[in-house]
Amino acid sequence: MDAATDLARAPADFRRLDPRPDASRDPAQVPITVIGRDGLGDFVDALRASTARAMDTETDFEPREAETRSHVPKLRVISAATRARDGTERAWVVDVGGHDLVELAMALHEGLRVPDLASDAWNATFDDRVIDTHLMEPAAAAGAAVGSLRWWDAQLADALLHQGLTGFSFFHGLAWAAERYLGLSVEGKATTQFSFGANGPLSDRQVAYAAADAVETLWVSTVLRERLAEAGLEEVCRLEQDARPFLDRMERAGLPFDVDGWEAELAELAERRTDVLTHLAELTGGGQGDLFGGGLEPSWNPDSEQQARGVLNRFAADEVEAWTTKTDGHARPLAPTDSLGASVLAGIGGELCSALLAYRDLSKTLSTYGHTMAEHLWADGRLHPEYLQVVGTNTGRLASRNPNAQNFTPRLKPYMKPPPSRVFVYSDLSQAELRFATQLASDEGLRSAFEQGLDIHTATAERMFGVQLDGPAGLAALDRPRYEEFRTKAKRINFGILYGQRGAGLSRGLTDAGVPTSRAEADELIEAYLDAYPGIAAWVDERDRFIGHFAATELDADWQLTLRLGQLWPRTDEARRALRNQQRRHHSAAEVHDAVLANSSTAAIDSGQLRGDGDASIGDVDVAEVAWALSFSAPVVVRSDGSPLSFSSRTPAGRRQQFTFSVDWVLGEAAAVVGCSTKPRPAEVWRRVLQRFELAPPDPASAGTLRPAVEKLLEQRHLRRAVVDEVGVSMGLADQQFLLQRALHTRVGQMANAYRNAPVQGGVADVMLDAYGRLASVLARYPSAAAVQTVHDSVVVECDESEARALAVEVKQALEDAMSRWCPDVPTRADTDLRTSLSETSILEQIG
């Protein structure tokens, strides 16, 4: 058997890697009670007596003529599963249309008032909104003393178990979880949600489906609690669960937006963009007039980096050569691999670069925040951004979308403003990450500066450089330029050190900020900083030493298994997606397996022979192997037991950020090493692969150096696998594995920065979750108030002007109390103010 065939072969018994448990229970065996109006009492008694319970909703998804994005589908069915003290389980199904809404709402309110016992749900935010909108709120309006229910979101818990894994950026569905945690192959909600119409009696099948959803949620939640305890994630899960209602209410409340004012601003920005284009044309030899008399259009495309580089080389040659001399040590024109990011353009300087920067700024505003903002407006005249917990980022910070409320341009913020007689309370944790790092590192110098209330960047500069910056005899009074230089250097390092900043990055950052700094000077600055703060230095060294130790001792990759996963996963994922698009449901591993085989048979080739796209035949594959591949969110490097090769970082609350290694990245690095090698055998491998795909060797001259040219060619991802496979065939498996191990070692080193920062960003994310839970209690005492935005370490609450000051004091206290819980040894401060828009220019009053 040749090497390529051997690498395409599955292990003899892949069942040992199958992540699915054996199904020992059947939801259909749980007794179901359909609740009529005379059965509510039994339902309430069962809920109150339960030791665990789960709830689910089925809604009417029939389209409506006036349906908008604000529409919450109508509640049709509430299903529940209960577990009694003796372990007896029962399912309950309520057809909401057959009940008096007030009576049903009061029954649920009464049955679910058990202290410290929430209802398990899969995607609790959806069920919460549906029940609130169509049951609790109408009942409250009719005079019933009811409120929102308490939930434990199993979907969030599942996400915490997967946080940080390569490719994991979405919530799993209940049917996926039932198969993963219970071994059940079920159809799931998506098969039946369209069959729950607004009218007509429920069929036996609908009743069974609704009950099964609740039972599966109960069982999955039980397993998840066990998994959370095993993983040490119970506390961080509690923080996420407590924060969820606050974030849900914030999304519901929405953000007030002056759309008319913004549209007028856009018209002005469009005129300014036309003026900038005209100026660009004038600076580069002229252009052609706009057909409508709107100025000149350059004869080149300012949006094309390739054309912009050519224009700069021609019309700003002196500035370009001065910049390349500063960065490379010798003058040269811009090469195709030179980035034209904002920092580069600012570094080159001159009128042409300034005009390009202005053009980009205006174009980004017009394209990203232009008329599309109005498209996000709901019928209530407000924006309702979504906030994603856990899946939004690897670190635990929230992400936002539709629109992204965490990345508004400063030009847009003045138009985010409340109506007359209402204001915003804005509160932001001051220097949260640096304070948290001080706590983690137990650094006495930084802690002392925070205790004294000093300007932390000035204090750092004085410790680093041994000079006095403030006071009558300080540089602030005697030599302002030197004061600004020292403080800028200290500020850059204060923030950069937490993100793993090294000398090269600091050099670029300071130089772009107007403080020219060589690499050697930047290295010296970092050493001075670490000397000034020995606690931080020890913490940084410990984080970096862990990475070095892992790279040296823990890289026990099974490359045969890893390459098999890299080969199989795209096929299984493609089949899974195709089936879901066709039938709108989760499919079992067996169904995906059949689809993989069917797809493979249409393009059957001999095992080990490369296809036109560089992939190899998957050969024989069984259901267990497909189930194993489907257990990953992306192909990653794996150990011999089939689990991901990984390491993790923890926050004080226990949040776990997992670090895994993308197969595609490792293949890319390995292939690049081959492509750049001057040794005969690797060079021959590279030549063969390029010849097979009829590609010309990259031209180093066009890219400045060989490596960027090779990497550009390897953007065709099928080439990466082809090169690595050819190494195995031509040079042998030992050389192939050595190459892959070397690439993996490189990747581990590149993760050092993220590993250093993980407990800091993740820890502050935990702080904010704690604050959201506290703020929910605060806002409950202010009927006019609603949270409307959060960005990283800040929160914005809209309220009546008459109660703004009192509320602001409580909001400030909630943030500071949350920070003090997780950062007890370092003083905390939440900068808080009242303002009439999101813009800092609209501040009315600072709250001390």
pLDDT of residue 99: 93
Give the distance, in angstroms, between the CA of residue 543 and the centroid of all CA atoms in the same chain. 23
CATH number of 383-434+755-847: 3.30.70.370
pLDDT at 291: 52
Give the model's pLDDT for residue 161.
Answer: 97
Sequence ranges of the domains in the chain? 3-14+556-644, 31-231, 259-375, 383-434+755-847, 444-532
Q: Are 741 and 557 in contact (CB under 8 A)?
A: yes
CATH topology assigned to domain 31-231: Nucleotidyltransferase; domain 5 (3.30.420)
pLDDT at 700: 67
Q: Are 55 and 78 in contact (CB under 8 A)?
A: yes
Residue 618 is predicted with a pLDDT of: 64
Sequence-ordered alpha helix ranges (H) in 602-679: 623-630, 663-676
Alpha-carbon distance of 154 to 179, in angstroms, equals 15
ω into 481 cis (within 30 of 0): no
What is residue 61's predicted lDDT score, i.e. its pLDDT? 62
Q: Would you call 208 helix, strand, or coil by DSSP?
A: helix
* Positions in the chain whose pLDDT score sits under 70: 1-15, 61-70, 186-195, 197-199, 289-294, 601-619, 700-704
pLDDT of residue 347: 85
Interatomic CA distance for residues 493 and 306, integer angstroms: 33
Report d(CA 507, CA 498) in Å as an integer.
Answer: 16
Would you tell me the crossing angle of helices 234-253 and 204-231 to the nearest 10 degrees? 130
Partnered with residue 549 across adjacent β-strands are none
Whether 105 and 141 have beta carbons less than 8 Å apart is answered as no
State residue 134's pLDDT score: 94
Q: Is the pTM of this model over 0.75?
A: yes
For the CA atoms of 530, 531, 532, 534, the dihedral, rounded to the nearest 10 degrees, stands at 70
Closest CA to 418 of 796, 841, 843, 798: 798
**Pairwise CA distance, residues 390 & 767, whole Å:** 14
> Are 733 and 366 within 8 A, CB to CB?
no
31-231 and 383-434+755-847: same fold? Answer: no
Q: Which residues is 382 bridged to in the sheet?
A: 256
pLDDT number for residue 64: 46
Angstrom CA distances, 681 to 643, 677, 684, 686, 728, stand at 33, 9, 5, 9, 12
pLDDT at 614: 39
Residue-level pLDDT at 701: 61
- DSSP assignment string, 579-613: HHHHH-S---HHHHHHHHHHHHHTT---TT---TT
Q: Which SS3 state, helix, strand or coil, does residue 533 take?
A: coil
pLDDT reported for residue 237: 98
Pairing, β 287-289 against β 119-121: unpaired
